[in-house]
Amino acid sequence: MNEIRILKTQGKARAGELNTQHGIIQTPVLCPVGTQGSVKTLTPQDIKDVGMHMILANTYHLYLRPGIPTLEKMGGLHKFMNWDGAILTDSGGYQLYSLSKLRRINDDGVIFRSHIDGSQHTFTPELAIKYQESIGADIIMVLDECIDHNESRERVWAAMVRTHQWAERCLKVHNKAGQALYAIVQGGVFPDLRKISAEYLTALNFDGYAIGGLSIGEPKNVTFDITEQTVGLLPADKPRYLMGVGAPEDVVECVARGIDIFDCAMPTRVARNGALYTPTGRVDIENAVYSQQDSPIDATCHCYTCRNFSAAYLHHLFRSKELLAYRLATIHNLAFMSNLVQSVRNSILDGTFSTFRSEFLSQYQTTDEKTRISQKQKWLDARENKTLYEA
Task: Show which residues are catalytic.
Answer: 90, 263
Q: Residue 204 contacts by C-beta under 8 Å, 6 or more apart in sequence?
A: 167, 168, 171, 183
Residue 36 near a second copy by CB under 8 A: yes
The least CB distance from residue 287 to a second copy, in Å, is 14
Q: Residue 273 contacts by C-beta under 8 Å, 6 or more apart in sequence?
A: 377, 380, 381, 384
Q: What is the 3-state secondary structure (H, E, C) of 108-119?
A: CCEEEECCCCCC
Which window, 4-12, 69-77, 157-165, 352-360, contacts a second copy (CB under 8 A)? 69-77
Residue type at position 76: G
Q: Residue 328 contacts by C-beta under 8 Å, 6 or more apart in sequence?
A: 304, 305, 309, 314, 317
The least CB distance from residue 97 to a second copy, in Å, is 21
Q: Which is nearer to a second copy, 65 or 302 (CB)?
A: 65
224 closest CA partner among 270, 192, 198, 259 = 259
Pick from 114, 202, 310, 354: which binds a second copy (CB under 8 A)?
310
Question: What CA–CA distance (Å, rounded) separates 91 from 196?
Answer: 22
Residue 320 near a second copy by CB under 8 A: yes
Question: What CA–CA distance (Å, rounded) separates 97 from 19?
Answer: 31
Pick from 1, 5, 17, 74: which binds a second copy (CB under 8 A)?
74
Pick from 73, 103, 172, 383: which binds a second copy (CB under 8 A)?
73
Pick from 326, 336, 356, 364: which binds a second copy (CB under 8 A)?
326
22 closest CA partner among 50, 48, 43 = 48
Rg for the chain, CA atoms, rounded: 20
Residue 82 near a second copy by CB under 8 A: yes
Q: Which is nearer to a second copy, 13 or 47 (CB)?
A: 47
Question: What CA–CA distance (Å, rounded) separates 287 from 345?
Answer: 33
Residue 323 near a second copy by CB under 8 A: yes
Q: Which is nearer to a second copy, 224 or 304 (CB)?
A: 304
Which window, 122-130, 184-192, 222-230, 321-329, contacts a second copy (CB under 8 A)? 321-329
**Interaction residues for a second copy, span 243-282 (CB under 8 A):** none
Total length of the chain: 391
Residue 66 near a second copy by CB under 8 A: yes
Instruction: Let me know: does 25 contact 17? Beta carbons within 8 Å.
Output: yes
Q: Which is nearer to a second copy, 234 or 391 (CB)?
A: 391
Instruction: Let me know: does 305 contact 331? Beta carbons within 8 Å.
Output: yes
Residue 224 near a second copy by CB under 8 A: no
Q: Which is nearer to a second copy, 1 or 388 (CB)?
A: 388
Residue 312 near a second copy by CB under 8 A: yes
Residues that bind a second copy (CB under 8 A): 36-38, 40-44, 65-66, 70, 73-74, 80-82, 291-292, 294, 308-310, 312-313, 315-317, 319-324, 326-328, 388
